[in-house]
Amino acid sequence: MTGHGPVETPVFMPVGTQATVKALSNDEVKACGAEIILGNAYHLYLRPGLDIIGKAGGLHKFMGWDRPILTDSGGYQVFSLATLRKLSNEGAEFSSHIDGSKHFLTPEKAMDIQGVLGSDIMMTLDECVHYPAARDYVEQSLKLTTNWAKRSKAYLEKRQRSGGWKQLLFGIVQGSTYLDLRKEAVEELLAIGFDGYAIGGVSVGEPRNLIYEIAGYTAELLPRDKPRYLMGVGTPPDILEAIALGVDMFDCVVPTRNGRNGQAFTAAGDLQLRNAEFKEDFRPIDETCGCLACRNHSRAYIRHLFNTEELLGLRLVSLHNICFYVTLIGQARKAIEEDRFLDFKNAFVNGYNNKKEKA
Amino acid sequence: MTGHGPVETPVFMPVGTQATVKALSNDEVKACGAEIILGNAYHLYLRPGLDIIGKAGGLHKFMGWDRPILTDSGGYQVFSLATLRKLSNEGAEFSSHIDGSKHFLTPEKAMDIQGVLGSDIMMTLDECVHYPAARDYVEQSLKLTTNWAKRSKAYLEKRQRSGGWKQLLFGIVQGSTYLDLRKEAVEELLAIGFDGYAIGGVSVGEPRNLIYEIAGYTAELLPRDKPRYLMGVGTPPDILEAIALGVDMFDCVVPTRNGRNGQAFTAAGDLQLRNAEFKEDFRPIDETCGCLACRNHSRAYIRHLFNTEELLGLRLVSLHNICFYVTLIGQARKAIEEDRFLDFKNAFVNGYNNKKEKA
């Protein structure tokens, strides 16, 4: 239960980096059945800036989205997109990727930013370590992340005592590929106590089998009565495999980013709609899909739109993909309720991969 | 009355150059109240090509639009966008602006192309002369255009006798800025006889007062019981002025092209939403507008979307502008029915221009 209503899990959160799920309207995202979206604190802090979002009355009002929002802390972008200038126990000094301006992000400031955004679920500031990473670097980094998690919780409690903030706070398990460090991180976060736990630092360059190994091992250690959120993952089979491993929440740019490149997801594998093979294919992307793109338009038409660089092409495939992800995870939820999830997952993964191999 | 239903005039036709009104879905264009759109034969002939549109069952089915469509003949693009290689009485040889491939367009081929597209209203092939043009060139050109108009009508009648084609055909009045040549052109076209008459070769570089002079002079000569269509015009005041001069039909890329650049039209003048003045302006584009953009979003939000190059920005302003144009012309229609059009037009034009002068 969040400040903007309940969220049933497992759930997929479309990514609305800059206060918009790329190429889509709120109505379209809602029509797909999305219950919650993700916003990026780093991007929104830089543009339009907290001043403007604050005056608008928070991110929900600024962008016109009335369902729950989860915001990340900005840590991931500071360590990947911005130029990191100085990292200390206190926080991270970085230069904006847009104009080079200098900023200093601390765990407390990350909470303040998310407080102004008014998200329903906030994330603690952490250091996201990329793959591969040396063990001693990861050990040091984990100390920092745990310390920041403690400070985040303490700061939130102080703000909640002084009134006004009712947001949930999730901690993030780091530890790279070192399972014993993941275990240590879980224990330390559990000792602090959060409303939910994210598995971070996966899908950062490591092979797929390692993603599953880390996600499965970590999810198993986390309490079953709190949401377990695997950050930034993944393809449709990845998501079902992770649900089987105990994960409840997902976000990923794949449906929109790949959609903008013409890649459409279906249960029978994905289609690259720019390809000449679809020139005279007058079937919808997916006969079984009820989205606007599949109800009204053919593969041949969408290929023409990409071929002529018409924006409606990006829109239609982004929309279809978001609907596909949200529908898939809804089917997974139903299969779990009906105690037939593993059959559902195996059938889907086989169907998806068979087509890919045939193609 | 067209093959896809009636069209009430005066009417504004959103431009769907490449089988899509740029950035918008059919549902959005319909929700604005658009009754008919325009398709460009030249673009569609080159991409996706007639073969594909033919197999799809025509342009309506290919793009999923079930209301009337008017197609131009391709002449305008051959004389402006393509490289014209050879112009003769027989037709125009040109190289595609996309891949340089050579094509030959005749009046009969322009009819065949529009026949495959299956538009409800077809246009005759003409030579669109740009401004300024020497009188003797325009005289020669007009002979060509009249000859092509005759051949178009003869070819259509032959096709209609052999069955299958039920499309309307409009002739196009050329003659540049020479009013006596415009008059001659009208007389020749009336002798041939068309379902409607377009005023072409305006808004091709000449000053605004000349546009009005030519449009008014020509519209006056054309029969009142047939649609009079002013091609490619214009701004909101241009359209109302032209209605006052007797024009019934309009198409223009301004609402979508300018919308993609952040220019939004309102009755109080236009807004350049990229401007910093809208950074903290939480009002809708237009308080009186019921479009999706104005119902759900603020100027500050839309400015942020343009500032961060988010596609939703182009979408929202394109949508608002199409709704604005269609609504404006609907208001004009009502004012005509209620015999108060001139008051309506004068009030609008004054309100629109006053704001512009203040800004």
Interface of A with B in 209-268 (CB under 8 A): none
Best of B50, B310, B318 to disrupt the A interface by mutation (most A CBs within 10 Å)?
B310
Model confidence at A359: pLDDT above 60? no
What pLDDT score was predicted for residue A348? 97
pLDDT at A356: 57
**Does the distance separating the beta carbons of A27 and B301 come in below 8 Å?**
no
Instruction: List B94's β-bridge partners, or say none.
Output: B84, B103
pLDDT-wise least confident of A129-138, A348-357, B155-164, B222-231: A348-357
Contact between A48 and B279 using a beta-carbon 8 Å cutoff: yes
- Which residue pairs from A49-54 have beta carbons closer than 8 angstroms and sit at least 24 positions apart in sequence? A50/A113, A50/A116, A50/A117, A52/B279, A52/B280, A52/B300, A52/B304, A53/A19, A53/A116, A53/A117, A54/A116
Q: Which of A24, A48, A307 sits opposite B47 (nearest CB)?
A: A307
Q: What's the whole-number mean pLDDT along residues B19-38?
A: 98
Model confidence band, residue B152 (pLDDT cutoffs 50, 70, 90): very high
Could you tell me the CA-to-CA distances from A129 to A74, A195, B147 in Å, in that order? 14, 23, 74
Task: Dump pLDDT digits (tens) for B244-288.
Answer: 999 999 999 999 999 999 999 999 999 999 999 999 999 999 999
Asked if B179 has any chain A CB less than 8 Å from its own CB, the reply is no
> What's the whole-number mean pLDDT along residues A20-25?
98
Nearest CA in chain B to A57: B282
- pLDDT bucket at B358, cuts 50 / 70 / 90: low
Please report, for residues A271, A273, A359, B25, B173, the alpha-carbon distance to residue A317 in angstroms, rounded to integers and kept in the order given: 10, 9, 20, 13, 42
Which helix (H) or strand (E) element contains residue A94?
strand A92-95
Contacts of A304 in chain B (CB under 8 A): 18-19, 47-48, 52, 62
- Residue A19 touches partner B, C-beta closer than 8 Å: yes
pLDDT digits (tens, 9 = 90+) for A166-197: 899 999 999 999 999 999 999 999 999 999 99
**β-strand partners of B171:** B197
Q: What is the mean pLDDT of residues A99-123?
A: 97
Residue A27 has pLDDT above 90, yes or no: yes
State the Cα torsion B201-B204-B205-B210 to the nearest 10°: 40
- pLDDT exceeds cutoff 60 at A249: yes
Q: Which of A57-61, B73-77, B164-168 has the lowest mean pLDDT?
A: B164-168
User: Which among A95, A132, A298, A104 is positioned nearest to A210, based on CA atoms?
Assistant: A132
> Residue A3 has what pLDDT?
84
What positions of A carry a catalytic annotation? 72, 251
ipTM above threshold 0.95:
yes
CATH of domain B11-252: 3.20.20.105
Between chains, do B312 and A20 touch, taking CB under 8 Å as contact?
Answer: yes
Q: Which two three-digit tokens encode residue A61?
A: 């009002």
Note the pLDDT tens digit of each residue in B96-112: 999 999 999 999 999 99
B43 contact residues in A (CB cutoff 8 A): 308
- Whether this prediction's pTM lies above 0.90 is answered by yes
Mean pLDDT of all residues in chain A? 96
CATH 3.20.20.105: which residues of chain A? 11-252
Is A150 buried (19+), middle (13-18) or exposed (0-12) by CB count in 10 A?
middle
Is the CB of residue B310 less than 8 Å away from at least one CB of chain A? yes
Chain A nearest-CA distance from B1, in A, is 25
| Residue A2: pLDDT band with limits 50, 70, 90 | confident
Rg of chain B over all Cα atoms, to the nearest angstrom:
20
